[in-house]
Amino acid sequence: MSLPQGVRAGLLVGAVALALVPLSGDRFWVQFAGKLMITCIYAVSLDLLVGYAGLVSLGHSAFFGLSAYLLAGLANGLGLVSPLATLPLCLAFAGLAALLIGWLSLRATGVYFVMVTLAFGQMLYYLFSESPGLGGSDGVSILQRPRLAVLGRTILDLGDRTAAYAAIWVALVLSFLLLRRVVQAPFGHVLTAIRINEGRMRTLGYGTGRYKLAAFVLGGVLAGLAGYLDATLYGFVNPAQFGWRQSGLVLVTVLLGGKGTLYGPALGAALLSVLEHFAERATEHWSAVVGAAVIAVVLFLPRGVAGLLEGSRG
Amino acid sequence: MAEALLETEGLTRRFGALAAVDGVTLRVERGTVHAIIGPNGAGKSTLLNLLSGELRASSGRVRFRGEDVTRAPPDVLSRKGIGRSYQTANVFPELTCAESVWLAAHSRNAGRLFQPRRDGADTAAREEDALRACGLSGRRLSRAAELSYGEQRQLEVAMMLATDPELLLVDEPLAGLGHDEARMVLALLREVAQQRTLVLIEHDMDAVFAVAQTVTVLVNGRVLESGPPAAIRASPRVREAYLGEEEP
């Protein structure tokens, strides 16, 4: 489905505005917008599962956390800092984990699938928070951020805030364009039809399990990309990144923005980040304010903020 | 004797103590219409679900083109050439007719996960032919949810045809249709039957005896009689089984 004209223009303006944030020179806003873009990648990766394949996963944080922890392990344990090595390794690790977890989880359907994915996320949370060798509940600081050097000369240092910010911006744009391409291809149409009527798709000749697993793995790899970038930006990983709260928050982001649109969840991530920021400043009960806003959107905008922008368009 | 396209041997499906299909042995010859009739609860739809792979048999065998397909799932059977339509419209409410039929046609390329949107003239031609054959060319861009019940049944058949099956399992295609719609679907089935093999479940006996070359009567999950329509119509056992029901 093509994007509404206004949405397309809004996305372009948003992308340009985000690209210009580092020019403000304000460290806080650069960090804030960097985190916001990471959340966007995280949310659009989950939208592929929830909005297109109809797979409501509460274990999506597993791939975010595994990728982030692997980056920490590669940097601290092996002194491997080149993003040309660490990025493919982290994404492949997230993808392999998604293949295994997806292969097992997709044997269940409906609420049972939700519970199995939740269980995998929680298993990893307890494994990492209770294993001193993995940093325990305190987490792990990344001693060396990803850095690309050629002939002893550093050409890209992601420890530099602006460079990390630029990398996150590029990753967001590429992730979004990749997913747009995927959902507009036959693969995306098949996923949508599986969500609507899986039984009928099987009698039409589709091995639906393979399609769902492929979506699960692709979503997992992109969640892994978000985790890699998060660990790079903050230089720190902790077991809370595996927790159900993290998975729940990103799911809320998808629903708030409007599932099955890709741009909706990105918008949801931006709105939720801004709302949280200002609510935190206004009151110590900020989470109640955010909760009330989420309830209002779910009740009055069942198709999320994207539904509001698209009007009656189905 | 003509070549058998589909055969079952002692096919049985139990739900607890109840045998919904009980030792059914069938032989469906290539290029024929084989009707399965019987009172409500006789096990007709359960039998079709076993043949399409949506239910697993408790015991017995199913052979398609001589190959044992008893344990094959529905997607594998579909790709082997077994198409299926349902007793009630089983469509994609949010998709247009063109999208629904395209999905069915595209399924023949489903071995590859990632493909361009337009994947060859064959797919487009199958999509177009199926829509035209089912009288839905003018409804290409209508969503399935916006169609009348009769049109949804036509869409069902169009999706089935777009998969280019050799054997069609058609479950009560006339149920719930008005007179004109039923005539159109019947004419469509006659046309389809000229090139393919049909296993047809239908309660409308006039339609069954008009199109079928073989009729099998199921009662309580078992085959009561099987043979040409004239023999079935004349069978005292069949008449007895239908007491209280419509006489064949």
pLDDT digits (tens, 9 = 90+) for A47-83: 999 999 999 999 999 999 999 999 999 999 999 999 9
Give the closest-approach CA distance of A206 to chain B in angstroms: 5
More confident call, B109 vs B198? B198
B153 with B94, same domain: the answer is: yes
Please report whether residue B185 resides in a domain. Answer: no
pLDDT digits (tens, 9 = 90+) for B99-156: 999 999 988 875 555 555 555 667 778 888 888 888 888 888 999 999 988 888 889 8
B174 with B128, same domain: the answer is: no
pLDDT-derived band at A314 (thresholds 50, 70, 90) equals very low
Q: Please report the number of interchain residue pairs, chain A to chain B, with beta-carbon separation below 8 angstroms.
A: 79
B174 with B74, same domain: the answer is: yes
Please report whether residue B189 resides in a domain. Answer: no
Give the closest-approach CA distance of A53 to chain B in angstroms: 14
B67 with B174, same domain: the answer is: yes
Interface contact flag, A206 B75, Cβ < 8 Å: yes
Q: Which of A86-90, A280-284, B86-90, B207-211 has the highest mean pLDDT?
A: A86-90
Please report whether residue B47 resides in a domain. Answer: yes
B158 with B218, same domain: the answer is: no
Q: How many structural domains comprise chain B?
A: 2
Interface contact flag, B78 A184, Cβ < 8 Å: no
Q: How far apart are CA A212 and CA A190, in angstroms?
A: 10
Residues in A touching B117 (Cβ below 8 Å): 184-186
Residues in B touching A187 (Cβ below 8 Å): 113-115
pLDDT digits (tens, 9 = 90+) for B203-232: 888 888 888 999 999 999 999 999 999 899
Mean pLDDT over A127-151 rounds to 90
Among B69, B75, B102, which would you mutate to test the A interface (most chain A Cβ atoms within 10 Å of its Cβ)?
Answer: B75
Interface contact flag, B114 A185, Cβ < 8 Å: yes
The two tokens of residue B163 are: 């998969």
Look up the domain containing A241 and give its range.
5-310
Binding-face residues of B in 3-42 toward A, CB within 8 A: none
Interface contact flag, B94 A185, Cβ < 8 Å: no
Query: Which ipTM did the prediction report?
Result: 0.88
Please report whether residue B6 resides in a domain. Answer: yes
Residue holding tokens 């660990």? Answer: A231
pLDDT digits (tens, 9 = 90+) for A159-174: 899 999 999 999 999 9
Residues in B touching A196 (Cβ below 8 Å): 92-95
Query: What pLDDT does residue B153 have?
Result: 86
B55 with B115, same domain: the answer is: no
Please report whether residue B186 resides in a domain. Answer: no
B133 with B29, same domain: the answer is: no
Please report whether residue B184 resides in a domain. Answer: no
Give the closest-approach CA distance of A211 to chain B in angstroms: 7
Query: What pLDDT does residue A243 have?
Result: 87
Interface contact flag, B103 A203, Cβ < 8 Å: no
Interface contact flag, A186 B117, Cβ < 8 Å: yes
B219 with B102, same domain: the answer is: no
CATH number at residue B47: 3.40.50.300
Q: SS3 sequence, chain B? A: CCCEEEEEEEEEEEECCEEEEEEEEEEEECCCEEEEECCCCCCHHHHHHHHCCCCCCCEEEEEECCEECCCCCHHHHHHHCEEEECCCCCCCCCCEHHHHHHHHHHHHHCCCCCCCCCCCHHHHHHHHHHHHHCCCHHHCCCEHHHCCHHHHHHHHHHHHHHCCCCEEEEECCCCCCCHHHHHHHHHHHHHHHCCCEEEEECCCHHHHHHHCCEEEEEECCEEEEEECHHHHHHCHHHHHHCCCCCCC
Look up the domain containing B159 and give its range.
89-164
